[in-house]
Amino acid sequence: MSSELRNLNEVTVRAPATVANVACGFDCLGFALETPFDEITLRRVDRPGIRIEHLDGFGLPTDPARNVVGTVLGSVIRAAGGDLGFEAVVTKHIKPGSGVGSSAASASAAAVAANELLGSPFSRPELVEFARDGEFTACGARIADNVSASIFGGFTLVRTTEPTADVIALEFPELHATVLHPQIEIKTADARALLRNEIPLPTAVRQWGNVGALVAGLARGDYGLIGRALEDFVAEPYRKVLIPGFDDLKSASLRAGALGGGISGSGPSVFMLSANGSAARAVESAMDRVYSGSGIDYNIYVSPVSRTGAATFR
Ligand code: HSE
Protein backbone atom coordinates (compact mmCIF):
# COMPACT_ATOMS: atom_id res chain seq x y z
CA MET A 1 0.00 0.00 0.00
CA SER A 2 1.46 3.40 -0.90
CA SER A 3 2.12 5.82 1.97
CA GLU A 4 -0.40 8.28 0.44
CA LEU A 5 -3.17 5.72 0.68
CA ARG A 6 -2.26 4.28 4.06
CA ASN A 7 -4.80 4.93 6.81
CA LEU A 8 -2.69 6.45 9.58
CA ASN A 9 -5.45 5.84 12.13
CA GLU A 10 -5.15 2.08 11.78
CA VAL A 11 -2.28 -0.37 11.69
CA THR A 12 -1.92 -4.15 11.71
CA VAL A 13 1.11 -5.62 13.46
CA ARG A 14 2.31 -9.20 13.67
CA ALA A 15 4.54 -10.25 16.55
CA PRO A 16 6.34 -13.60 16.56
CA ALA A 17 6.28 -16.48 18.99
CA THR A 18 9.49 -16.78 20.95
CA VAL A 19 11.55 -19.39 22.75
CA ALA A 20 12.69 -18.02 26.11
CA ASN A 21 15.56 -19.29 28.25
CA VAL A 22 17.18 -21.21 25.33
CA ALA A 23 18.18 -23.93 27.82
CA CYS A 24 20.96 -22.25 29.82
CA GLY A 25 19.73 -18.63 29.86
CA PHE A 26 16.86 -18.69 32.36
CA ASP A 27 15.02 -15.35 32.19
CA CYS A 28 17.73 -13.72 30.06
CA LEU A 29 17.98 -15.42 26.63
CA GLY A 30 15.36 -15.71 23.92
CA PHE A 31 14.89 -16.03 20.19
CA ALA A 32 12.08 -15.30 17.73
CA LEU A 33 10.37 -17.72 15.35
CA GLU A 34 8.88 -16.77 11.97
CA THR A 35 5.71 -18.71 12.77
CA PRO A 36 3.40 -18.80 14.65
CA PHE A 37 2.62 -15.13 15.42
CA ASP A 38 -0.14 -13.02 16.98
CA GLU A 39 -1.80 -10.23 15.00
CA ILE A 40 -3.38 -6.99 16.18
CA THR A 41 -5.24 -4.38 14.20
CA LEU A 42 -5.17 -1.19 16.23
CA ARG A 43 -7.26 1.91 15.54
CA ARG A 44 -7.01 5.42 16.98
CA VAL A 45 -10.49 6.66 17.92
CA ASP A 46 -11.80 9.95 19.31
CA ARG A 47 -13.49 8.38 22.33
CA PRO A 48 -10.84 8.07 25.08
CA GLY A 49 -10.19 4.63 26.55
CA ILE A 50 -9.42 1.13 25.33
CA ARG A 51 -11.76 -1.35 23.68
CA ILE A 52 -10.67 -4.88 22.82
CA GLU A 53 -12.18 -7.54 20.60
CA HIS A 54 -10.72 -11.03 20.20
CA LEU A 55 -11.28 -12.88 16.92
CA ASP A 56 -9.61 -16.04 18.27
CA GLY A 57 -11.38 -18.70 20.26
CA PHE A 58 -9.26 -18.65 23.40
CA GLY A 59 -11.86 -17.00 25.64
CA LEU A 60 -9.47 -14.38 27.00
CA PRO A 61 -10.99 -11.50 29.01
CA THR A 62 -11.67 -8.35 26.99
CA ASP A 63 -11.73 -6.11 30.07
CA PRO A 64 -8.64 -3.92 29.35
CA ALA A 65 -7.49 -4.17 32.97
CA ARG A 66 -7.34 -7.98 32.72
CA ASN A 67 -6.13 -8.27 29.14
CA VAL A 68 -2.45 -8.21 28.13
CA VAL A 69 -3.13 -5.91 25.17
CA GLY A 70 -5.25 -3.61 27.37
CA THR A 71 -2.48 -3.36 29.96
CA VAL A 72 0.12 -2.47 27.34
CA LEU A 73 -2.11 0.14 25.70
CA GLY A 74 -2.82 1.63 29.13
CA SER A 75 0.93 1.96 29.76
CA VAL A 76 1.47 3.59 26.36
CA ILE A 77 -1.38 6.05 26.97
CA ARG A 78 0.03 7.01 30.39
CA ALA A 79 3.51 7.52 28.93
CA ALA A 80 2.21 9.49 25.94
CA GLY A 81 0.01 11.68 28.12
CA GLY A 82 -3.46 12.77 27.07
CA ASP A 83 -6.83 11.11 26.73
CA LEU A 84 -6.13 8.75 23.87
CA GLY A 85 -8.59 6.22 22.52
CA PHE A 86 -7.66 2.85 21.00
CA GLU A 87 -9.69 -0.03 19.59
CA ALA A 88 -7.83 -3.31 19.22
CA VAL A 89 -8.89 -6.35 17.25
CA VAL A 90 -6.70 -9.24 18.37
CA THR A 91 -6.20 -12.49 16.48
CA LYS A 92 -4.06 -14.84 18.49
CA HIS A 93 -2.53 -17.77 16.65
CA ILE A 94 -0.37 -18.76 19.63
CA LYS A 95 -2.25 -20.75 22.22
CA PRO A 96 -2.01 -19.29 25.76
CA GLY A 97 0.09 -21.39 28.10
CA SER A 98 2.03 -23.01 25.25
CA GLY A 99 5.53 -21.96 26.30
CA VAL A 100 6.28 -20.07 23.09
CA GLY A 101 5.56 -16.59 24.38
CA SER A 102 1.85 -16.29 23.69
CA SER A 103 1.23 -13.36 26.05
CA ALA A 104 4.55 -11.79 25.00
CA ALA A 105 3.57 -11.81 21.32
CA SER A 106 0.27 -10.03 22.04
CA ALA A 107 2.00 -7.57 24.37
CA SER A 108 4.74 -6.85 21.84
CA ALA A 109 2.28 -6.42 18.98
CA ALA A 110 0.25 -3.95 21.07
CA ALA A 111 3.31 -1.89 22.01
CA VAL A 112 4.63 -1.74 18.44
CA ALA A 113 1.20 -0.95 16.95
CA ALA A 114 0.47 1.87 19.43
CA ASN A 115 3.91 3.36 18.85
CA GLU A 116 3.34 3.28 15.09
CA LEU A 117 -0.01 5.05 15.38
CA LEU A 118 1.50 7.75 17.61
CA GLY A 119 4.28 8.51 15.11
CA SER A 120 6.99 6.33 16.76
CA PRO A 121 7.84 8.47 19.81
CA PHE A 122 9.18 5.46 21.76
CA SER A 123 12.42 3.50 21.36
CA ARG A 124 12.51 -0.30 21.21
CA PRO A 125 13.79 -0.53 24.83
CA GLU A 126 10.81 1.60 25.89
CA LEU A 127 8.47 -0.70 23.98
CA VAL A 128 9.98 -3.63 25.87
CA GLU A 129 9.02 -1.93 29.16
CA PHE A 130 5.40 -1.45 28.01
CA ALA A 131 5.26 -5.07 26.89
CA ARG A 132 6.65 -6.22 30.24
CA ASP A 133 3.59 -4.64 31.88
CA GLY A 134 1.52 -7.01 29.75
CA GLU A 135 3.58 -9.94 31.00
CA PHE A 136 2.74 -8.88 34.54
CA THR A 137 -0.96 -9.13 33.73
CA ALA A 138 -0.41 -12.57 32.19
CA CYS A 139 1.75 -14.19 34.87
CA GLY A 140 2.37 -11.78 37.74
CA ALA A 141 6.01 -11.05 36.82
CA ARG A 142 7.48 -8.44 34.44
CA ILE A 143 9.50 -11.10 32.60
CA ALA A 144 11.56 -9.58 29.79
CA ASP A 145 13.03 -12.50 27.85
CA ASN A 146 10.07 -13.31 25.57
CA VAL A 147 9.03 -9.71 24.87
CA SER A 148 12.61 -8.67 24.08
CA ALA A 149 12.95 -11.40 21.45
CA SER A 150 9.48 -10.69 20.06
CA ILE A 151 10.16 -6.95 19.70
CA PHE A 152 13.81 -7.07 18.56
CA GLY A 153 13.64 -10.35 16.60
CA GLY A 154 16.62 -12.73 16.39
CA PHE A 155 18.43 -13.81 19.56
CA THR A 156 18.35 -11.42 22.51
CA LEU A 157 20.14 -11.32 25.83
CA VAL A 158 18.59 -9.39 28.71
CA ARG A 159 21.65 -8.41 30.74
CA THR A 160 19.54 -7.04 33.58
CA THR A 161 15.96 -5.94 34.18
CA GLU A 162 16.83 -3.35 36.84
CA PRO A 163 15.87 -0.56 36.66
CA THR A 164 14.86 -1.30 33.06
CA ALA A 165 15.70 -4.13 30.68
CA ASP A 166 19.14 -3.85 29.08
CA VAL A 167 18.50 -5.81 25.88
CA ILE A 168 21.40 -6.91 23.68
CA ALA A 169 20.65 -8.14 20.16
CA LEU A 170 23.04 -11.04 19.50
CA GLU A 171 24.83 -12.05 16.33
CA PHE A 172 23.88 -15.54 15.18
CA PRO A 173 24.27 -17.88 12.19
CA GLU A 174 21.50 -19.60 10.24
CA LEU A 175 19.51 -21.67 12.72
CA HIS A 176 16.24 -23.57 12.49
CA ALA A 177 13.95 -24.45 15.37
CA THR A 178 11.68 -27.45 15.78
CA VAL A 179 9.13 -26.90 18.54
CA LEU A 180 6.75 -29.57 19.78
CA HIS A 181 3.74 -28.17 21.60
CA PRO A 182 1.83 -30.79 23.61
CA GLN A 183 -1.74 -29.59 24.05
CA ILE A 184 -1.52 -29.39 27.81
CA GLU A 185 -1.40 -26.09 29.62
CA ILE A 186 1.33 -25.15 32.07
CA LYS A 187 0.88 -21.78 33.73
CA THR A 188 4.13 -19.83 33.90
CA ALA A 189 3.43 -18.91 37.53
CA ASP A 190 3.11 -22.63 38.42
CA ALA A 191 6.29 -23.55 36.53
CA ARG A 192 8.17 -20.74 38.30
CA ALA A 193 6.94 -21.97 41.68
CA LEU A 194 8.78 -25.27 41.07
CA LEU A 195 12.19 -23.58 40.88
CA ARG A 196 14.68 -23.38 43.71
CA ASN A 197 15.53 -19.95 45.14
CA GLU A 198 19.12 -20.98 45.75
CA ILE A 199 21.56 -22.56 43.32
CA PRO A 200 24.65 -24.39 44.62
CA LEU A 201 27.80 -22.56 43.48
CA PRO A 202 29.19 -25.44 41.32
CA THR A 203 25.83 -25.60 39.50
CA ALA A 204 25.81 -21.83 38.97
CA VAL A 205 29.33 -22.01 37.54
CA ARG A 206 28.26 -24.64 34.98
CA GLN A 207 25.21 -22.58 34.06
CA TRP A 208 26.96 -19.26 33.47
CA GLY A 209 29.78 -21.06 31.63
CA ASN A 210 27.14 -22.30 29.21
CA VAL A 211 25.50 -18.88 28.82
CA GLY A 212 28.84 -17.35 27.86
CA ALA A 213 29.63 -20.28 25.57
CA LEU A 214 26.27 -20.05 23.83
CA VAL A 215 26.69 -16.33 23.14
CA ALA A 216 30.22 -16.99 21.84
CA GLY A 217 29.05 -19.95 19.75
CA LEU A 218 26.28 -17.85 18.20
CA ALA A 219 28.66 -14.98 17.42
CA ARG A 220 31.26 -17.29 15.84
CA GLY A 221 28.72 -19.44 14.03
CA ASP A 222 30.28 -22.41 15.83
CA TYR A 223 27.51 -25.04 15.71
CA GLY A 224 29.47 -27.51 17.87
CA LEU A 225 29.85 -24.97 20.65
CA ILE A 226 26.19 -23.94 20.37
CA GLY A 227 25.20 -27.59 20.84
CA ARG A 228 27.52 -28.13 23.83
CA ALA A 229 26.20 -24.95 25.50
CA LEU A 230 22.52 -25.95 25.25
CA GLU A 231 22.40 -27.42 28.78
CA ASP A 232 20.22 -26.30 31.68
CA PHE A 233 20.85 -27.16 35.32
CA VAL A 234 18.53 -24.50 36.79
CA ALA A 235 15.02 -25.04 35.41
CA GLU A 236 14.92 -28.23 33.31
CA PRO A 237 15.60 -30.70 36.16
CA TYR A 238 12.57 -29.39 38.10
CA ARG A 239 10.22 -28.58 35.24
CA LYS A 240 10.67 -31.55 32.92
CA VAL A 241 8.38 -33.72 35.09
CA LEU A 242 5.49 -31.56 33.80
CA ILE A 243 6.18 -32.59 30.19
CA PRO A 244 5.30 -36.21 29.34
CA GLY A 245 8.08 -37.90 27.34
CA PHE A 246 10.54 -35.00 27.69
CA ASP A 247 13.68 -37.16 27.96
CA ASP A 248 12.62 -39.35 25.01
CA LEU A 249 11.90 -36.27 22.87
CA LYS A 250 15.30 -34.84 23.65
CA SER A 251 17.31 -37.99 22.99
CA ALA A 252 15.41 -38.79 19.77
CA SER A 253 15.97 -35.22 18.54
CA LEU A 254 19.70 -35.36 19.23
CA ARG A 255 19.94 -38.69 17.39
CA ALA A 256 18.10 -37.11 14.45
CA GLY A 257 20.71 -34.36 14.18
CA ALA A 258 19.57 -31.52 16.46
CA LEU A 259 22.36 -29.39 17.93
CA GLY A 260 20.54 -29.35 21.27
CA GLY A 261 17.50 -27.89 22.97
CA GLY A 262 15.30 -28.11 26.02
CA ILE A 263 12.10 -26.71 27.47
CA SER A 264 10.76 -23.69 25.60
CA GLY A 265 10.16 -20.98 28.19
CA SER A 266 8.24 -22.43 31.08
CA GLY A 267 6.84 -25.28 28.94
CA PRO A 268 5.08 -27.42 27.93
CA SER A 269 6.66 -26.83 24.48
CA VAL A 270 10.02 -28.44 23.80
CA PHE A 271 12.43 -26.80 21.35
CA MET A 272 15.41 -28.07 19.39
CA LEU A 273 17.83 -26.05 17.28
CA SER A 274 19.37 -27.35 14.05
CA ALA A 275 21.92 -25.93 11.64
CA ASN A 276 19.70 -26.19 8.58
CA GLY A 277 16.11 -26.74 7.50
CA SER A 278 16.49 -30.39 6.51
CA ALA A 279 17.93 -31.28 9.93
CA ALA A 280 15.06 -29.38 11.59
CA ARG A 281 12.56 -31.44 9.56
CA ALA A 282 14.35 -34.68 10.51
CA VAL A 283 13.97 -33.60 14.13
CA GLU A 284 10.27 -32.95 13.46
CA SER A 285 9.89 -36.56 12.26
CA ALA A 286 11.77 -37.88 15.29
CA MET A 287 9.58 -35.85 17.68
CA ASP A 288 6.48 -36.99 15.82
CA ARG A 289 7.48 -40.66 16.24
CA VAL A 290 7.96 -40.16 20.00
CA TYR A 291 4.65 -38.36 20.49
CA SER A 292 2.37 -40.14 18.02
CA GLY A 293 1.68 -42.92 20.50
CA SER A 294 1.48 -40.70 23.58
CA GLY A 295 -2.28 -40.12 23.57
CA ILE A 296 -1.62 -36.38 23.87
CA ASP A 297 -2.61 -33.99 21.06
CA TYR A 298 0.31 -31.90 19.81
CA ASN A 299 1.50 -29.48 17.13
CA ILE A 300 5.01 -29.28 15.77
CA TYR A 301 6.35 -25.99 14.38
CA VAL A 302 9.42 -25.89 12.16
CA SER A 303 10.72 -22.37 11.62
CA PRO A 304 13.95 -20.53 10.95
CA VAL A 305 15.05 -18.29 13.78
CA SER A 306 13.53 -15.00 12.62
CA ARG A 307 15.78 -12.00 12.13
CA THR A 308 12.85 -9.60 12.44
CA GLY A 309 10.59 -8.94 15.37
CA ALA A 310 7.12 -7.41 15.72
CA ALA A 311 6.41 -5.30 12.66
CA THR A 312 3.68 -3.64 10.67
CA PHE A 313 2.01 -6.15 8.42
CA ARG A 314 -0.23 -3.65 6.62
N1 HSE B 1 11.82 -17.15 31.54
C2 HSE B 1 10.45 -17.42 31.82
C3 HSE B 1 10.35 -18.70 32.62
C4 HSE B 1 9.72 -17.55 30.53
O5 HSE B 1 11.03 -19.66 32.27
O6 HSE B 1 9.60 -18.75 33.60
C7 HSE B 1 8.26 -17.68 30.68
O8 HSE B 1 7.69 -17.92 29.42
What average pLDDT does this structure show over 195-203? 97
**pTM for this predicted structure:** 0.95
Angle between helices 68-80 and 102-117 (to 10 degrees): 30
The answer to whether 188 is a known catalytic residue is yes
Ligand 1: does its nearest atom lie under 6 Å from the Cβ of 39?
no
CB of residue 188 inside a 6 A radius of ligand 1: yes
Q: 34, 39, 87, 135: which one is catalytic?
A: 135
Diameter over CA atoms, the chain: 61
Residue 159's pLDDT is what? 98
Please give the pLDDT value at position 217: 98
> pLDDT class for 219, splitting at 50, 70, 90?
very high
CA of 215 to the centre of ligand 1 (A): 19
Phi then psi for residue 263, to 5 deg, are -80, 135
105-131 per-position pLDDT tens digit: 999 999 999 999 999 999 999 999 999
Residue 4, pLDDT score: 42
Mean pLDDT for 85-113 is 96
pLDDT digits (tens, 9 = 90+) for 133-159: 999 999 899 999 999 999 999 999 999
C-alpha 177 – ligand 1 centre gap (Å): 18
Q: Is 284 in the pocket of ligand 1 (CB under 6 A)?
A: no
In this prediction, residue 118 carries a pLDDT of 96
Residue 192, ligand 1, Cβ within 6 A: yes
Confidence of residue 82 (pLDDT cuts 50, 70, 90): confident
CA distance 151 to 128: 7
Cβ of 145 closer than 6 Å to ligand 1, yes or no, is yes
Structural contact between residues 27 and 199, judged by C-beta atoms closer than 8 angstroms: no
Q: What confidence tier does 7 reach under pLDDT thresholds 50, 70, 90? A: low
Residue 2 pLDDT greater than 50, yes or no: no
| Range in 100-114, 155-169, 179-193 with the lowest mean pLDDT | 179-193
pLDDT digits (tens, 9 = 90+) for 236-264: 999 999 999 999 999 999 999 999 999 99
- Is 10 an active-site residue? no
Query: Ligand 1 center to residue 194 CA distance, Å?
Result: 12
Residue 98 CB–ligand 1 contact under 6 Å? no
Distance 118 CA to ligand 1 centre (A): 31
Coil vs helix vs strand at 312:
strand
Looking at ligand 1, which atom is closest to the CA of residue 27?
1
| Helix, strand, coil % over all residues of the chain, rounded to 5 | 40, 25, 35
Could you write out the three-class secondary structure of 36-48? EEEEEEEEEECCC
Taking 50 as the threshold, does the pLDDT of residue 91 lie above it? yes
CA 136 – ligand 1 centroid, Å? 12
Count of helix runs (H) and strand runs (E) in the chain: 10, 11
Arithmetic mean of pLDDT over the chain: 95
pLDDT of 3 reads 42
**CA dist 151 to 8, 140, 146, 167, Å?**
21, 20, 9, 10
